[in-house]
């Protein structure tokens, strides 16, 4: 009844498909691989309790008062130190702004950079929260194909030439939804292809810390070689998502512009949560905590890969994740994962059909599977049921 009042942009913005699915699968009989929730093991509850006691007694009313838009200095300083140590980045706290989760980082970057019909390059498939956020700024998306190594370089070059995107958004590590990790060579090839373009590059990295192997980390695309890189990070997958704390690292001129956008968006992020997480980070060994999460996810991922190898029809391909929370299956050409979804639900197993991760394609043959919230037994049983649904004609 209020149609005539709504803005163009909101009428174009899809409501989250995944959240709709989550409503369908309330039935506790269902084994769900549909969600994207971190395992509660990733919340250091005992240590956070100690930090809670400390911040209430040390900072008193400061933890309850209004605060600055850029975020708590000590939290930004922790981020600076960590990125200096790991990546040798030459940054100060002026290159960092705290956001209300990484989702807000996407919203603010959309607000700062996107005019209607601006050409924005994303992966194919891409993170659906990004599609939602940028859709609400009426972006014109172009999707560049992913393969096992990362971006398809030919497709990338064609995209750059034909569409001259203003902005690109990539998740190089353990991508959501595909679980793919860009190889070192692929990252170098991408940087070669884009370095002379008039394009900013956003690299979102919520899962980067959740690397299963002991190999070295693979550097970001164009790391320390350009001012046009924007890095996103988050505490959601390694400490807690409930506090809604993420961050942007970028040239300080960009950070200042994002700060103006953030003033208008929510003044500042929850300062209580910032004190809490900052206190936790400075007083605990984060890497030791991350080891615990990785150990569990690696086991769960292994169990899922094992079960997929055992049960899936040979025609179905899937990612073997090197980290993160997801794998991605591709059915035979012409099959529909939406149809599979209905059959799977009848067998009490759920996943996310690939459709919402694409801009212009429907009835795709791909699907996302999350493994971080099920036991080995549930994973095995769920994949078995899903395989039966796949084999049903």
Instruction: Give residues 305-344 in contact with a copy of itself (rule: CB under 8 A).
Output: none
- Burial annotation 347-366 (CB, 10 A radius, 16+ → b, else e): bbbbbbbbbbbbbeeeebbb
For a copy of itself, the closer CB: 33 or 113 = 113
The site map against a copy of itself for 206-245 (x = CB under 8 A) is ---------------------x--------x---xxxxx-
Contact flag: residue 375 with a copy of itself (CB under 8 A): no
Q: Bridge-partner residues for 367, per DSSP?
A: 329, 353
Contact flag: residue 64 with a copy of itself (CB under 8 A): yes
Question: Are the CB atoms for 125 and 145 separated by under 8 Å?
Answer: no
What are the structure tokens assigned to 377, written together?
A: 């037994």
Counting Cβ atoms within 10 Å, is residue 218 exposed (0-12), middle (13-18) or buried (19+)? buried
Contact flag: residue 259 with a copy of itself (CB under 8 A): yes
- Segment lying near a copy of itself (by CB under 8 A), choices 81-89, 96-104, 283-291, 364-372: 96-104
Q: Cβ 62 to a copy of itself, closest distance in Å? A: 8
Of positions 24, 27, 58, 60, contacts a copy of itself by CB under 8 A: 60
Q: Cβ 53 to a copy of itself, closest distance in Å? A: 9
Q: Is 179 left (phi over 0), alpha (psi -120 to 50) or beta?
A: left
Of positions 226, 270, 336, 348, contacts a copy of itself by CB under 8 A: 270
CA 76 to chain centre: 20
Q: Cβ 303 to a copy of itself, closest distance in Å? A: 22
Question: Are the CB atoms for 371 and 33 separated by under 8 Å?
Answer: yes
- Residues 6 or more apart whose CB falls under 8 angstroms from that of 250 comprise 95, 229, 230, 231, 258
What are the structure tokens assigned to 109, written together?
A: 């970057």
- Segment lying near a copy of itself (by CB under 8 A), choices 45-53, 209-217, 362-370, 377-385: 45-53
Contact flag: residue 9 with a copy of itself (CB under 8 A): yes
Contact flag: residue 265 with a copy of itself (CB under 8 A): yes
For a copy of itself, the closer CB: 46 or 393 = 46
For a copy of itself, the closer CB: 69 or 319 = 69
For a copy of itself, the closer CB: 259 or 279 = 259
* Nearest 10 degrees: Cα torsion 276, 277, 281, 282: -40
Q: Cβ 332 to a copy of itself, closest distance in Å? A: 33
Q: Cβ 60 to a copy of itself, closest distance in Å? A: 7
Query: What is the DSSP secondary structure assignment for residue 122, as one 8-state letter?
Result: E
For a copy of itself, the closer CB: 1 or 393 = 1
Cα–Cα nearest to 65, from 76, 55, 54:
55
Contact flag: residue 368 with a copy of itself (CB under 8 A): no
Contact flag: residue 351 with a copy of itself (CB under 8 A): no
**Size of site (CB under 8 A) for a copy of itself:** 77
What are the structure tokens assigned to 353, written together?
A: 């059909």
Contact flag: residue 112 with a copy of itself (CB under 8 A): yes
Element (H, E) at 99: strand 96-100
Rounded alpha-carbon distances, angstroms, from residue 229 to 141, 222, 299: 19, 8, 34
The site map against a copy of itself for 113-132 (x = CB under 8 A) is xxx-------------x--x
Interhelix angle 337-346/376-391, rounded to 10 degrees, is 120
Cα–Cα nearest to 21, from 367, 350, 389:
350
């Amino acid at each position: 009844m209020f149609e005539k009042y709504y803005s163009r942009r909101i009428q174009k913005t899809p409501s989250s498909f995944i959240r709709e699915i989550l409503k369908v699968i309330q039935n506790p009989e269902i084994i769900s691989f549909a969600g994207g929730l971190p395992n509660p093991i990733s919340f250091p509850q005992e240590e956070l309790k100690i930090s809670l006691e400390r911040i209430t007694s040390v900072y008193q009313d400061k933890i309850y008062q209004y605060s600055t838009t850029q975020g708590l200095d000590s939290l930004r300083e922790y981020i600076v130190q960590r990125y200096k140590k790991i990546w040798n980045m030459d940054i100060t706290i002026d290159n960092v702004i705290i956001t209300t989760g990484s989702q807000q980082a996407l919203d603010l970057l959309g607000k700062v950079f996107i005019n209607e019909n601006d050409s924005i390059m994303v992966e194919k498939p891409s993170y659906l929260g990004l599609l939602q956020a940028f859709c609400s700024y009426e972006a014109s998306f172009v999707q560049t194909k992913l393969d096992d190594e990362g971006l398809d370089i030919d497709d990338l070059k064609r995209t750059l030439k034909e569409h001259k995107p203003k902005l690109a958004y990539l998740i190089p590590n353990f991508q959501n939804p595909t679980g793919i990790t860009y190889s070192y060579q692929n990252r170098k090839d991408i940087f070669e292809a884009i370095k002379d373009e008039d394009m900013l590059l956003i690299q979102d990295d919520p899962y980067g810390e959740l690397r299963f192997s002991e190999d070295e980390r693979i550097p970001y695309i164009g790391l320390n070689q350009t001012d046009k890189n924007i890095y996103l990070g988050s505490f959601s997958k390694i400490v807690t998502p409930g506090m809604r704390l993420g961050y942007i690292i970028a040239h300080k001129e960009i950070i200042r512009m994002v700060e103006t956008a953030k003033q208008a968006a929510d003044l500042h992020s929850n300062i209580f949560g910032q004190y809490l997480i900052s206190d936790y980070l400075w007083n605990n060994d984060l890497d030791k905590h991350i080891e615990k999460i990785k150990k569990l996810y690696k086991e769960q991922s292994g169990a899922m890969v094992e079960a997929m190898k055992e049960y899936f029809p040979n025609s179905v391909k899937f990612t073997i994740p090197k980290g993160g929370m997801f794998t991605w299956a591709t059915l035979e050409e012409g099959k529909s994962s939406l149809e599979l979804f209905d059959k799977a639900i009848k067998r009490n197993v759920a996943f996310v059909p690939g459709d919402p991760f694409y801009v212009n394609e429907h009835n795709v043959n791909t699907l996302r599977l999350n493994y971080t919230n099920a036991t080995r037994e549930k994973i095995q049983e769920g994949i078995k049921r899903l395989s039966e649904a796949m084999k049903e004609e």
